[in-house]
Amino acid sequence: MAYFDELTFLNVYLDIPYWERYDQRWEGLYALHFQMAGDLYFGRDGGPRATFRAPVLFWLDPRHHYQFGAVSGTDRRHVVVFRGRRGQRLVEQGFDPLCRPGIMPLLRGGDLDALFRLLAHQWRAPGPAAHAEAVLSLERILALALDAGPAAGAQGVGPLKVRQAAERIRQEPFRRYDAVSLARQARFSHSHYRRLFRAVIGHPIHEYILRCRMQAAAELLRDPSRPVKEVAALAGYTDAAEFCRAFKARLELSPQHYRRAVSLMNCRFPTAGKLCHPAGAR
């Protein structure tokens, strides 16, 4: 039972409304908050405050100073307060890597609601077996948070950083991008950043980079004087055949057919001052 004794539950609150605004640190305590209704602002260590809409999961630990509260009126949330070495590891090695700012918008909250209620029931039951089950429920909340993922339309620091990265990729598609480096720059774990990018942008990061790259290549191919090999090299391909396969997979035309289609369109709808006639036409 030593594994379970390293975590002590101090309180479990269900469906509590919040009017208060907090600007403090909780010495020696850890807490997990699951907001089910309302909007809240959240900041940590004096950094910028962002506004989030439920459902949202956030966690507190004594290393940081927090600023959070309801944006208007009240919100409704479940809260679990605990301490101990196992609780420290759960926050620092489990929840923190999900989202470095300490708060994570969710795609869904129903399953988490049920787990919090189960944990509260186990916490109130007597005996070491019930305590062990409550610790396991807290760990299941972490596992479920891994799958719940960030909401696509969520506001806040994470989605903003993703949209900024996506715009940079779109503007400079031929630069070399590394998902691990982008995640590190955003101060997220690689796995969480990949989930967040897909939720916000609608495509996996690797696929989004390829799409932007092929769209930029298509613009270059409109110039008939540019060899396909040159465009392939600019797009990062040493093998022109591999570039052609990637191009066709995303634009449904090979580079040669795309160039021919553009040429035919220019003939059919010439720009001012330019005419294109079929051979032999008068």
C-alpha 190, offset from chain centre: 10
Per-residue pLDDT tens for 181-199? 888 888 787 877 888 888 7
Rounded CA separation 83/102 (Å): 17
Nearest one of 100, 229, 151 to 220, comparing CA atoms: 229
pLDDT band at residue 271 under the 50/70/90 scheme: very low
* Rounded average pLDDT over 149-164: 61
Percentage of the chain surpassing pLDDT 90? 33
CB 228 within 8 A of CB 256: yes
- Is residue 275 over pLDDT 60? no
What pLDDT shows up at residue 58?
Answer: 95
Q: Could you give the 3-state DSSP secondary structure of residue 19? A: coil
Q: What are the start-end ranges of the E strands in 137-204?
A: none
Q: Could you give the 3-state DSSP secondary structure of residue 280? A: coil
CB 214 within 8 A of CB 250: yes
Higher-pLDDT residue of 18 and 17 is 17
Q: Please provide the size of the chain in residues.
A: 282
* Rounded average pLDDT over 106-116: 83
Token pair for 69: 């509260």
List, in order of start, the domains of the chain with CATH numbers: 2-148 (2.60.120.280), 157-268 (1.10.10.60)
CB 50 within 8 A of CB 9: no
Question: What separation in angstroms does the CA of 243 have from each of 62, 174, 252?
Answer: 52, 13, 13
What pLDDT shows up at residue 243?
Answer: 92
Higher-pLDDT residue of 213 and 252 is 213
What pLDDT shows up at residue 26?
Answer: 95
Q: Which amino acid is at 189?
A: S
Q: Which amino acid is at 89?
A: R
What pLDDT shows up at residue 46?
Answer: 85
What pLDDT shows up at residue 157?
Answer: 60
CB 135 within 8 A of CB 194: no
